[in-house]
Structure formats: C-alpha cells, structure tokens
Amino acid sequence: MSAIGPPVGALELVVTIVAAWVALGALGLVRPHSLRFVSRLIFPAGACVALLLTVIAFLSLDAPPQSLVMPLGLPDLPFHVRLDPLSAFFLLLIGAASFGVSLFSAGYFRASEGTPPGLICFQYHVFLAAMASVVVADDAYAFMVAWEAMALASYFLVTTEHRIPEIRRAGFLYLLIAHIGAIAILLCFGVLQAGGDDYTFDTMRNMTLIGAWPTAAYFLALVGFGAKAGLLPLHVWLPEAHPAAPSPVSALMSGVMLKTAIYGLLRVTFDLMHVQLWWWGVVALALGVVTALFGVIYAAVQTDMKRLLAYSSVENIGIIVAGFGLTILFRAYGKNLLAAITLTAVLYHALNHAFFKTLLFLVTGSVLHATKERSLGKLGGLIHRMPWVAWLALVGTLAIAGLPPLNGFVSEWLLLQAFLFTPSLPQSFVNMLVPLAAAGVVLAVALAAYVMVKFYGVVFLGRPREAHLAYAHDAGRFERFGLVWLAAGCIALGILPVNVIQAIDPVNAMLLHSSAISAGGGNWLLLAPINADRSSYSPLIVLVVIIATVVLTMRIVHRFYHGRIRTAPPWDCGFPLQTPRMQDSAEGFGQPIRQVFEPFFRIERHLPTSFDAAPRYFVRIGDPFWSWIFLPIAHAAEFAARIVGLIQQGRISVYLTYSFFTLLALLFFVR
C-alpha cells in the first residue's frame, strides 16, 4: 500500500513526537496565564506534531515491527517500546483525531475561573503523549506508567473547572473507576508474566499459560480495559465526566482514550495470549450487546447534550466489544478469514467513532460557547446562527447514525455481514445465540439513528427556545478548521472503504495470520467481504445515486412548481398564542423510548395536577446501576468504617491499652 515504504527509524520518530508533545506542554507552563501565547502558538504546534504522527503511523502500518530499549525508566528496568501494525493503527487514530481536536482547542479555550490556560495546555499535551506511549509500550512497566499518566492527565483535564463541587465529584468518580481498572490490568500482566524473567511483552508472548490462568488473564483484562472503555457496569463515569470536562477534552477522552482500552483488549487477547476459548467470545459478545443497548436507550432519554453523547459513546463501545467477542468466537473455531473480517469491522468502527464522536463533542463545545447552554431544552434553531457548525454537525450526525455513504455505515455494515456468517460455526448453541446478538446490535444501531435525529433536530432545527440564542455566534477560524478536518475524515472513510480496509489489513495479518482482503472479490470501487455475489457495497455508486436523486428531484420540483409558492399563515389549531417553547422538546422526543423501555429506567417524575397554581414538570432518569451495584458497595464500606470507628475512642489511655495488650499478646505468642 505504501509505495514509499516505511520511514527509516519510524519508532524513533514516534518517540520524538511523544517527547515533542511533552516539551510543548512544558512550554505552556512558561507563561501559564497568557491565553494568546498558548492558543496561538502551542496548540497549533501540537496539531502539526499530531499530523506528523498520523503520517508516520500511516506509512508504518505494513512495516515489520521495530523495537527499542529506551534509556529511561528505573535502573535495570528500562522502558521497551515497539511499533507494529496494531500500534501503528492506533497511533494513526490518535494522531488523526487529535489533529482536529488540537486545532479546535487553539480557538476554544478561554480564560476562566478554573485551571489557567498554560496548565491546561500542559495537561492536554501530556495526555496526548501518554496515549501515544500506551500504544507503543512493549513492557508492562512502561505500559502501566503511560496508562496512569493518561488517567491522571485526563483527570486534571476533567476537573478544569475545579471550583464547582459537581465537577470535582465527577472527576473523583472517574479517577476511582480508572484505578479499579488499572489494578485489574496490573493483575492481568502479573498473570501473563507467569513467573518469567522480566515484564516485557516478549516474555509474555513466549509464556504458555496452563489451566485456568488464560481465562483469569482474559477476564482481568476485560474488567480492567472495560472500566476505561465504559463497559457495563463500570460505565457510570462516562455520563458524569464528559459533561464536566471542557469539550475538546471530552472529545479526546471519548474519541481517542476509549480506543486505547480497545487496543489493550486486542493486544492482550490476540497478541500476548495464544489460545482463545470460544466462551470468552460469547461473554464479550453478550456484554457488548447489552452495553450497546443500554447506552443507546439511555442516550435517547437524555436532556443534556454532552450526557447524550456520553451514553452514545457507551453504545459505540458496546458495538466494538460485541465485534471483538465475535472475533474471538471465529478465531476459537479456527475461522481465521471470518475473524479477520470481524476484526476489520472492529478497527474500522473504532476509527470511525474517533472521527464522528470527536466531531460531535467539539460541536457541543461550540454550541456551549455560543449559547452558554448545555441543556437541550433551551437550544434550538441554531442552524441560522451557526451555519458552519450546524452543517459540519450534520455530517457527524449522519455518520454516527450509520447512513450511507458516510463512514458509520461501512463499519456497521461490515460487522453485520460478519454476524451473518455465524451459521458456519460448528456449535449449535452459539449458532442460536449469535443471531440474537445480531438483532441486538441492529436495534442499537437503529436507535442510535433515532438518538441522533433527536440531538440534531433539537439543537439546530426548529426555532430558538430561548431569546438569547439569537445572539449566538458561529465558531471561530481555528475551531472551523478542526471541525472541517474531522468531517472530511468522516466522508473520506465512508467513500474509500476498500482503501481503508487494505490499510488495516496488516493488523489482521499480525494478530490473526489471515487477511481480510484476499477472499473478497472486490476492487477499488466495490467492497465485498466474502464474494461479490453474496453482498457488496459501493459507496461511490451510492453517493452518485444520492446526489443524482437529490438533484433530479430538485429539478423536477423546481420545474413543475416554480412560481406557484404562496405564503400563508399556518393553521394554528385554533390556538393563537404560540411560543418556541411549544416545539417538540428533548423529553418529548425521547418519550416513546421511555415508554417502551420503562422497566429499565429509574424514573423520578413530577407531574403537575390540574389545580397547581405554578405547574411544574420534571423527569429525572437515574442510572439503575447506581442502586444495583455502587450504592450497596458504598453502604457496605460505610458500615465497615463505622465498625472500625468503634475502636477509635479518642482517649489516650484506651489507645495505650491497645498497644499494651498487643505487646502482651505478642510477648506471649513469641516466647
């Protein structure tokens, strides 16, 4: 694919890029309160570095693995780094998405009460550098250091507005769950290392785990990376942390950071371990489908736009993990070709999600800046005030809704194709189960489209629900650049699926020793996973047909009805007074879903009666996992703390008695 060949010393360049990001961040600390310096100089420079990373990663996708031992780390415990197709793919994802986000950030950050801009800049670039380090780390030690640096940097970014108590709480929740995950990952590496000489991934690759140990390692990885990715039931931090964080940070966390967890899952399951059991795949598949459905149903009833997108991220991660489970399933039964197709779909969807979710989060940032509103109930009609943002958001919305010819369609279509191949599996139980999962995924995808119509319709269409929305301004120059880049990515990934799949293919070759392209009868125009007779998709033809249809329709309409338009007041149902607040609201839009899936929600609803002088209506929809899992744990911890508190009497003589009796007991037993 790359005619130029892999760049010489690509890994050295990647390491240099990581160092450059850290250095740029540190430069921001020189003048922490100068917004101009940070936003006009450092963020664009960081974006250029990101672009460079994208190019290098793209060129080294099909290069042979390179590794390096860094002169960093503890004595006798240096950092190992390695660049192989899997890391290159995720580096590409990080670089491409963060290029857009960095450009956007250059115009986004304003002086505020919270963290000064220079410090934000430092945390932001350390965050980028840590994410890049995670995917090139080649030993458990370097991996954990990068992983923790990533968690901490993002924690500080989430709590940018740290003077607000809710935001501090959201940050704490995020940090807590990140650390639960980190512990599981650490244990997972401990299991994988299996008493080897050191903690490099090479040692782990050469280890053969026996008995229940591979299963233990797999499930520890699933919990650890699942906590970061937002798998049920550890997804609770997403809807809290994303609204709390500044929009570029939510964009990076949702679009890019969640993917590092997917990277970790793939790395541990397919690279570091040699055996995959079929029922691991079933567990991941079930978990993924449940997560996807849960995420999308909750996204449908949200009234805060960033919370909505956070739940939508949960849904997308669910779809990705379902695909991951299916890959394991195929792999366990030795169907490497099908596994390769599924893995392609997983990686493709990860890349797509990085583009469209980042785009949409950045859009919410622009809307937030323009209107100071996050609640969907107070927005509306912004397409007239913010045409740039609105049209670019439309691209992202259509992409995430999975409509051709944009990118969301391609990966979801590929994944469903993979699901349809399951009847070739030898086990009838799985053959019965997987179509159910496929139905679940389809339902999630369809509901996602519904959610996105709600998001776009309520924010940009209709009439402004509040008076001050009339003063909303469009995004600035840098913000537009960032949004255009991401929207262009969505379109390009949708139009050129064959090229993208060819580019991803070295990852298949590395992880599964199989290629997804070889079997397909497709060419550059036609995407055909197995053979062209069975199913194929050509985005260019779809695009041409769509454009042709639209143009033709417009022509015809123009021709036959031209000049016959007359304006008249619409019928107002006999009710003369109409305000913009009477439009369909976000709650109203989500209401059918709320009705259908009522048993899954914890709804707290206040309905006014006919006699209320000041009628009020509110609905609060809580996450049931709080009361199912987290509150019982919290209560148990409080109870245990109270028991321990009993021995705290606050009297010196009692404390002395404790040590006295301890001394006596020790003397008695030791003698």
Partner 1 sequence: MAGVPLYAQFINLLAAILLLLAFAMLAQRRVLTLIDLFAAQGLALAISTGVVAYGTSQPHLYFSTVLTFALKVILLPWILHRLIRRLDVRWEFEGLINIPTTMLIGIVLVVFSFNLALPISQLASTVTRSTLGIAMASVMLSFLMMITRRKAIPQVIGFLAMENGLFFAATSATYGMPMVVELGIALDVLVGMLILGVFFFQIREQFDSLDLRHLEKLKEPDQ
Site for partner 1, residues 179 to 208, rule: CB under 8 A: none
Minimum distance, C-beta of residue 407 to partner 1, in the bound complex (Å) = 55
Amino acid at 456: Y
Told to check if 668 binds partner 1 by CB under 8 A, we report yes
Amino acid at 322: A
Told to check if 631 binds partner 1 by CB under 8 A, we report no
Minimum distance, C-beta of residue 665 to partner 1, in the bound complex (Å) = 11
Told to check if 662 binds partner 1 by CB under 8 A, we report no
List the one residue out of 235, 259, 254, 249 whose CA is nearest residue 174.
Answer: 235
* Cα distance between residue 36 and residue 121, in whole Å: 12
* Cα distance between residue 411 and residue 572, in whole Å: 44
Minimum distance, C-beta of residue 670 to partner 1, in the bound complex (Å) = 9
Q: Of 375, 552, 660, 662, which lies in the binding site for partner 1, with binding defined by CB under 8 A? A: 660
Shorter beta-carbon distance to partner 1: residue 36 or 651: 651
Site for partner 1, residues 238 to 277, rule: CB under 8 A: none
Shorter beta-carbon distance to partner 1: residue 391 or 660: 660
Shorter beta-carbon distance to partner 1: residue 212 or 652: 652
Shorter beta-carbon distance to partner 1: residue 616 or 642: 642
3-state class (DSSP) for residue 77:
strand
DSSP string, 639-661: HHHHHHHTT----HHHHHHHHHH
Q: Which two tokens stand for residue 320?
A: 């990705």
Amino acid at 331: R
Site for partner 1, residues 85 to 104, rule: CB under 8 A: none
Minimum distance, C-beta of residue 671 to partner 1, in the bound complex (Å) = 6
Shorter beta-carbon distance to partner 1: residue 432 or 666: 666
Minimum distance, C-beta of residue 650 to partner 1, in the bound complex (Å) = 3
Q: Which two tokens stand for residue 510?
A: 């590395």
Told to check if 667 binds partner 1 by CB under 8 A, we report yes
Minimum distance, C-beta of residue 640 to partner 1, in the bound complex (Å) = 15
Work out whether strand 618-622 and strand 602-606 pair parallel, antiparallel, or are unpaired.
Answer: antiparallel
The 10 Å Cβ neighbour count of residue 165 is: 8
List the one residue out of 46, 77, 60, 74 whose CA is nearest residue 14.
Answer: 60
Told to check if 609 binds partner 1 by CB under 8 A, we report no
Told to check if 637 binds partner 1 by CB under 8 A, we report no
* Cα distance between residue 553 and residue 556, in whole Å: 5
User: Which range binds partner 1 by CB under 8 A, 48-56, 71-79, 402-410, 659-667?
Assistant: 659-667
Minimum distance, C-beta of residue 639 to partner 1, in the bound complex (Å) = 12
Minimum distance, C-beta of residue 166 to partner 1, in the bound complex (Å) = 24
Find out whether the peptide bond into 464 is cis, omega within 30 degrees of 0: no
Minimum distance, C-beta of residue 649 to partner 1, in the bound complex (Å) = 7
Minimum distance, C-beta of residue 641 to partner 1, in the bound complex (Å) = 11
* Cα distance between residue 226 and residue 224, in whole Å: 5
Tell me how long the chain is: 671
Residues 6+ apart with CB under 8 A from 450: 300, 593
Does an H or E element contain 636, and which?
A: helix 631-645
What x/- string results for residues 638 through 657 when contact with partner 1 is judged by CB under 8 A?
-------x--xxxxxx--xx
Told to check if 671 binds partner 1 by CB under 8 A, we report yes
Shorter beta-carbon distance to partner 1: residue 19 or 637: 637
Shorter beta-carbon distance to partner 1: residue 610 or 659: 659
* Cα distance between residue 434 and residue 245, in whole Å: 37
Angstrom CA distances, 390 to 335, 369, 397, 463, 632, stand at 44, 14, 10, 14, 44
* Cα distance between residue 53 and residue 30, in whole Å: 25
User: Which range binds partner 1 by CB under 8 A, 32-40, 300-308, 534-542, 660-668?
Assistant: 660-668
Residues 6+ apart with CB under 8 A from 458: 376, 379, 380, 584, 585, 586, 589
Q: For partner 1, how many residues bind (rule: CB under 8 A)?
A: 15
Shorter beta-carbon distance to partner 1: residue 71 or 650: 650
Minimum distance, C-beta of residue 647 to partner 1, in the bound complex (Å) = 12
Shorter beta-carbon distance to partner 1: residue 568 or 667: 667
List the one residue out of 482, 500, 491 whose CA is nearest residue 547.
Answer: 491
Minimum distance, C-beta of residue 634 to partner 1, in the bound complex (Å) = 15
Positions touching partner 1 (CB under 8 A) are 645, 648-653, 656-657, 660, 663-664, 667-668, 671
